[in-house]
Amino acid sequence: MNAREKKLLLFLIVAVVAGGLLTGTNRYLDHLDSLRGDLETAEQDRNTFDADTLAADIFSEMIDDYELMSLGSDQNHALASYKSWLINLLETELGLEDVRITNEPSREVENQYFRHTFGINCESDLKTLTEFLYQFETKRILHRIKDLAVSPKGYDQLQVRIVIEAISLPGANSQIDITKIEHDASLVNATKEEYWERISNRNFFGPENKTPTFTPPPIATTVGRSETRTLTASAGANEQNLQSVTYDLDVDSVPSNFVATLNGNRLTVSSDEVGRYEFNVKVTDNGLPAKTITKKMAVTVSEKPEPKPPTKRPDPPKPPIFNVAQLAFFTSTVQVNDRVEVWIHRRDLGEILKLPIGANVEIGTIKGKIHGVNQRYLTILTAENELLEIRAGKALSTAVNVTAQAESLLLP
């Protein structure tokens, strides 16, 4: 065998070994996938078994509870004992007369339990009928009122027809003393007084209770500002004079960044963020059965408006200034020992000023020095070097600015 044949033989051997390894690996991986599938199926079967076991335990406990509430498995005794309990309740405890109680033969239902049917016909008032219903509904027995018909008879009497079904379970004791089975008020979720209030407030011969009507008002507010609205709802057509409604806030529907409180029918809302917020309010009437309507409230929260700039009010007018120069009069000139004096009568002071040439004078708006005087005119030189001229006998307020007049004449 030459070198070339040896190489071919070696290559063939390597190829066979590699093929065997690849085939074995694939089979191993397929086997692992099969094991994983079997494991998942086993886990599912285990979970199903655990669930079925739990359900069976719950069902078994439920059956045990029902057997304690069942009539006895002895059908004849069950019929007689239940009928005896009804007669004692209606005639002895409630004092009804002429009560007629009938029963049908017991019937087996789907090989699981026996059903006993009883019929009651009697006359009663509403108070006594309510007492019977309360005693019946709170008795921990597997029974129910299948049919109840009430019709008026006389002023306060009712003709009552009731059909009752009671159950016997095969696993219950053979004979059960019904009188020893206790009453449970939680079965009707009410005390006897509450139960009476529920029934007495209902018109048995009137129309069905209607759902309240409620239209939520739109609400708008600004960031950080609380807004309050009074909610108004109606108990329903022709019912608002007989029923009242209550309001309830669905707190689970209130957004996290929003505050809403409801006190009676006064709703207060606020938020520190701009947005549109929605939540639910429930309105429930006190009819029988009570009806509830749920409506979505919407509140729009916007930014606070920019404050308006303050309006500047004009300064009040200044009181007029009285010019005292109106009460000072140039009356005359007097020469005393070569000294010329100007006499000015101050009526406001009730005196006469006697001022020489060059004397300062300040009366009202007239301010300056006595500049010159003659029998007709008095001239006063102001600090602005303007000459004021006052005619004899006139008030100083009539002074004429002769300097200004002269300047106006010189202007082109």
Q: Is residue 8 part of a domain?
A: no
State the CB neighbour count (10 A cutoff) for residue 319: 6
3-class DSSP state of 242: coil
Question: Where does the pLDDT of residue 103 fall: very low under 50, low under 70, confident under 90, or very high at 90 and above?
Answer: very high
The CATH number that applies at residue 333 is 2.30.30
Which residue spans within 215-314 are E strands per DSSP?
A: 219-222, 227-230, 233-234, 245-249, 259-263, 266-270, 275-285, 292-302
Q: What is the mean pLDDT of residues 168-182?
A: 88
Task: Give the chain's domain count.
Answer: 3
Q: What is the mean pLDDT of residues 225-250?
A: 85
Say if residue 239 is in the same domain as residue 290.
yes
Q: Is residue 67 part of a domain?
A: no
Say if residue 104 is in the same domain as residue 182.
yes
Indicate the residue among 271, 302, 333 that finishes a domain: 302
User: Which residue range(s) make up the domain with 241?
Assistant: 213-302
Q: Is the pTM of this model over 0.75?
A: no
Question: Where does the pLDDT of residue 321 fall: very low under 50, low under 70, confident under 90, or very high at 90 and above?
Answer: confident
Indicate the residue among 302, 333, 356 that finishes a domain: 302
Q: Rounded CA gap, 371 and 381, in Å?
A: 6
Give the per-residue pLDDT at 310.
Answer: 82
3-class DSSP state of 86: helix
| The two three-digit tokens of residue 2, written as one number | 């030459």
Say if residue 151 is in the same domain as residue 241.
no
32-70 tens-digit pLDDT: 777 777 777 777 877 777 666 666 555 566 667 778 888
Say if residue 90 is in the same domain as residue 195.
yes
State the CB neighbour count (10 A cutoff) for residue 345: 17
Say if residue 194 is in the same domain as residue 218.
no
Q: Rounded CA gap, 290 and 280, in Å?
A: 19
Give the per-residue pLDDT at 19.
Answer: 61
Q: Rounded CA gap, 269 and 131, in Å?
A: 46
